[in-house]
Copies of this chain bind each other. A is one copy, B any other.
Amino acid sequence: MSTATYRLYDDKADFRKKAEGIAVGLTVGSWTELPEVAKQKMEKHLGQVVSVEAHEPENAAPGERYADITIAYPDANFSRDIPALLVTVFGKLSMDGQIKLLDLQPSAAFLQAFPGPKYGIAGVRERLDVPDRPLLMSIFKSVIGYDLDGLREQFLQQALGGVDLIKDDEILFENPLTPLERRVETCIGAAREAERTTGQKLIYFANLTGPTSQLRANARRAIDAGANGLLFNVLAYGYDALAELAADASIDVPIAAHPAMAGAFYPSAFHGIAAPLLLGKLMRVAGADLSLFPSPYGSVVMPKAENLAVQDALVNGKLPQAASFPVPSAGIHPGLVPLILHDFGQDVVVNAGGGVHGHPLGAAAGGRAFRQAIDAVISGTGLEQAAARHEELRIATERWGIRQP
């Protein structure tokens, strides 16, 4: 059995009855009126109510009364793919009143069908030869309208600052100025150049786009041109597209899942799919080596508790799949590093855009300021103390301030 947990708001429903209706309605369709012999045949397909935790305060205001309902669905009812699981547990039901899908606990048998991240945290670290410090990712300042030279210069400046990972913008599609293969060659060329200066390795995540049927071929084109990572807008294509890429041995580079469109799902209390499932567990099961999600620090925010629940879903020991790197994104500057590392620990990717490019001394200095901040926190040196020693970090903290945990 695989279970699904929902939060269901209703001002007057009998939640237990509602739960039983879901368990029957989304599986065998009807039960009590079935003849005994049919029941025997159908029993192995019948959903079960696992729990109903009702929150029914006396004199509840409208919209205050809800229940968390967990239903178990027999694995015999659906095939071993995420579309089948989601359509079973939240296909029709998503439209049935105020109901949000909070979590899924797929069975061991279901999970076994998913190899998960090919690299995950450990594999990405190995590729970079960075065994334990937090990683630093940076994002292009802007990409649309840039030609190859413009992109190369941006890439090089970021890379020279000592970032570990650079990703394409998720809105950079196949285009005549920076077509995929030439873009990859250009950026990887810049990466190699920077590596000679920094002495460290770098992964470039090229944005994987195009028609669904061409994703694998486009991924291979990017890899053949030198890409050592792929960025993928998972929710625009469905989890299964990611799962198929992750399960494909020929796609032998890490995949970073971008959360584009996630805000259509998770922010409402009354509808949609909770972020820890949407951007955490399902991304990991489907095989994301890294998963980006809105940090609790910037302008595009997700509450911190939800953020940490996303992180937990990406890294906890409860799944057979390798752990995915959490990448809390948006609004990140070097002065936040103590807080990020406090909240997320070492297995985190510090991901910055404006915090790198907006550095008064330029993007390379911006990257260095982040690396100085990370080193300071790891070594137990205070950020102020490190800033006194490092010009880049000093200027960054003067600009953006320091937020201690």
Q: Please tell me if the beta carbons of A300 and B96 are within 8 angstroms of each other in the complex.
A: yes
In whole angstroms, how far apart are the Cα atoms of A243 and B99 in the complex?
A: 29
In whole angstroms, how far apart are the Cα atoms of A158 and B312 in the complex?
A: 49
Q: Which residues of B contact A118 (CB under 8 A)?
A: none
In whole angstroms, how far apart are the Cα atoms of A345 and B347 in the complex?
A: 59
Q: Cβ of A195 < 8 Å from any Cβ of B?
A: no
Give residues of chain A (90-112) contacting chain B, Cβ–Cβ below 8 Å. 90-99, 101
In whole angstroms, how far apart are the Cα atoms of A211 and B242 in the complex?
A: 11
Q: Please tell me if the beta carbons of A170 and B92 are within 8 angstroms of each other in the complex.
A: yes
Q: Convert A137-164 into 0s and 1s, putting 1 for each residue whose CB lies closer than 8 angstroms to a CB of B.
A: 0000111110000000000000000000
Residue of B nearest to A82 (CB): B236
Identify A209's interface contact among B77, B84, B97, CB under 8 A. Answer: B84
Q: Which residues of B contact A260 (CB under 8 A)?
A: 86-87, 91-92, 94
Residue of B nearest to A294 (CB): B95
Q: Cβ of A334 < 8 Å from any Cβ of B?
A: no
Q: Please tell me if the beta carbons of B171 and A91 are within 8 angstroms of each other in the complex.
A: yes
Q: Please tell me if the beta carbons of B271 and A263 are within 8 angstroms of each other in the complex.
A: yes
Q: Please tell me if the beta carbons of B212 and A171 are within 8 angstroms of each other in the complex.
A: no
- Among A22-30, A123-131, A360-368, which stretch is in contact with chain B? A22-30
In whole angstroms, how far apart are the Cα atoms of A84 and B236 in the complex?
A: 8
Identify A300's interface contact among B92, B174, B243, CB under 8 A. Answer: B92
Q: Which residues of B contact A143 (CB under 8 A)?
A: 29
Min CB gap A99→B, angstroms: 7
Q: Which residues of B contact A267 (CB under 8 A)?
A: 95, 98, 270-271
Give residues of chain A (60-87) contacting chain B, Cβ–Cβ below 8 Å. 76-79, 81-84, 86-87
Would A170 and B95 be within 8 Å (CB), given that A238-B237, A240-B237, A272-B272 are in contact? no
Besides the known contacts A26-B171, A94-B260, A271-B272, 17 further A-B residue pairs in the complex with CB atoms under 8 A apart: A77-B173, A81-B209, A81-B210, A83-B209, A86-B261, A90-B263, A91-B233, A91-B236, A91-B258, A91-B260, A91-B261, A94-B263, A95-B294, A96-B300, A211-B240, A213-B216, A236-B240
Spell out A's residues near B (CB within 8 Å): 26-30, 41-42, 44-45, 76-79, 81-84, 86-88, 90-99, 101, 141-145, 170-171, 173-175, 209-213, 216, 233, 236-238, 240-241, 243-244, 258-265, 267-268, 270-273, 294, 299-300, 302
